[in-house]
Amino acid sequence: MSKTTLEQAFQKTLDQGDKIFVPYIMAGDGGLDVLPERIQFLEEAGATALELGIPFSDPVADGPTIQEAGLRALEEKVTLRKVLRKLKETKHDRTIPIILMTYMNPIYAYKIEDFINESVDSGVDGLIIPDLPMEEEDRITRYLSDKEIALIRLAALTSPIERLKKIAEKTEGFLYAVTVKGTTGAQVEFAETVGEYIKELKAMSSKPVLAGFGVSTPEQVRQLSQYGDGVVVGSKIVSSFYEEKRGEIVDLINASKK
């Protein structure tokens, strides 16, 4: 699959009058063998694409729920290499686009060019790298220029407007609107200004704008989706799988439908 696959999936969802829903799960939480079944479950439940986290020992953007999931995956000896191998083995069993979320250290350990090539072979459609500053993107983009993998940029609430404009112009796939200051995790409520912030980003970007970080209820899915094109939901999906409460996941996804 490809960057084009990702953008087509988003457009199809929006054309149906629905909002884009991207769940996040931690690869290897519960072991890597459960990954294909979880991907299938999310695809059948109506998710537009999947953000797949790679466990890492120092996850600066992750809140406690995702950190704990990462530690469980690390205890299972899950690595970036093993995740890509599993994705490659099962790529013909899925049609949902896959977005890898990883930090730079595992990519360096892999070797950047090898990582990009293996990602292509494994059917990865997009990348999110939270600790890759815009000023240092060249170390990744030089290997992506002839590949069909979208480099998805994050737009932080705290960034100056000129910086946000550059990020909005450069992003591929979608623009990830970070709706809280700090790490991921369930929010009780969002700042009153968050709607205006998402609308501003929509005016800057030709790509869909998805709100993420802290989205944990069907009401919040509906609330944030009305300003942009959809949502990314992480901590709540991770905890619902861990606690075997899959009905909650279905309710969240259904909240993105018209």
- Of 96, 1, 14, the residue nearest 49 (C-alpha): 96
3-state SS of 211-229 is EECCCCCHHHHHHHHCCCC
* Cα(70)–Cα(54) distance, integer angstroms: 8
Is 131 a residue of the active site?
no
Q: Which of 7, 37, 44, 62 does the annotation list as catalytic?
A: 62
Is 51 annotated as catalytic?
Answer: yes
CA 116 to chain centroid, in Å, comes to 17
Given the residues 18, 33, 43, 51, select the one marked as catalytic: 51
CB atoms within 10 A of CB 219: 10
**Residues annotated as part of the active site:** 51, 62
